[in-house]
Structure 1
């Protein structure tokens, strides 16, 4: 797991797969290429570079397996975003390593607290967050795909 440019070939492929999975689950049908392109267009990923954030890619051997980002919301809070593990690599403890590196990157950017929002139907993600010490918090933002919020002191 290491910081990597959000637009590297591996990071771009992982971001597309992430959006495809969450959109397809939400719509209860496969997302089209055009829908994925629209969802990624103007999504603010360029903010996931220091000093406003960081993006990371995790590898299993030489294969890109996971990604995630942190976005500084203010001087002390970072938001966990775009956390994704390719299905073929799930269940191998890589998600925990991804969480550790993202929290470390957030601390290096000055964050003392990590927050995130997600949907109720993303059970695997919610389970991961709780397993890593995140607890439900009041909403800190709003949007169409935000149904539950979590936070953790770093």
Structure 2
């Protein structure tokens, strides 16, 4: 099976299902118990898509064998920097190359938006995400922007120009 990753509206049924799964996983890990539907709804309500659309960003959904199984967002911070956010691969699809396909699509979107550098923040307990970022060339950087309770480690990556064919 192959992965395909394409821009998709933040509010499609597939994008919404994936964002709910993302919030469920990160909130459940944070609280050390299953997140409630109300907690997931609250997280989604506080996560408007305003900056995840062109020209200030992009949201993508990855499909594995035709099934929506990953998502991620990108928002422009300044003229040369974009931030990754809401990066998620469903547990059933992990280890199939979906994380790499998702990051490659987000990096290409960042280049199209003029970014030369990607940054992100995450939590220490999200070990799968941290491993994915390290595997794909992200390195730990000093904190940027406002620190929040869910930001414990920051990563950055310089983007190279796309290969000419």
TM-score by length of 1: 0.98
TM-score by length of 2: 0.91
Cross-structure match for 2:68: 64
Give 1:57-136 correspondences, 5 Å limit.
57-136=61-140
Cross-structure match for 1:25: 29
For 2:77 and 2:154, locate their aligned partners in 1 and report how far apart those are by CA, in whole Å.
Answer: 14
For 2:29 and 2:151, locate their aligned partners in 1 and report how far apart those are by CA, in whole Å.
Answer: 14
For 1:74 and 1:131, locate their aligned partners in 2 and report how far apart those are by CA, in whole Å.
Answer: 26
Instruction: Return 5+ residue gaps in structure 1 as ranges.
Output: none
Judge conservation of contact 1:54–1:105 (CA < 8 Å) in 2: yes
Instruction: Tell me, yes or no, if structure 1 residue 10 matches structure 2 residue 14.
Output: yes
Cross-structure match for 1:148: 153
Q: How many residues align?
A: 154
Return structure 1 stretches of 4+ with deviation > 2 angstroms.
Answer: none
Distance apart, 1:61 and its partner CA: 1.6
Distance apart, 1:42 and its partner CA: 2.6
Cross-structure match for 1:51: 55
Instruction: Return 5+ residue gaps in structure 2 as ranges.
Output: 160-165
Distance apart, 1:94 and its partner CA: 1.1
SS of residue in 2 equivalent to 1:46: coil
Distance apart, 1:44 and its partner CA: 3.0
For 1:77 and 1:113, locate their aligned partners in 2 and report how far apart those are by CA, in whole Å.
Answer: 5
- CA deviation profile, 1:3-57 (whole Å, cap 9, x unmatched): 0001111001000000000000000000000000001113132310001100000
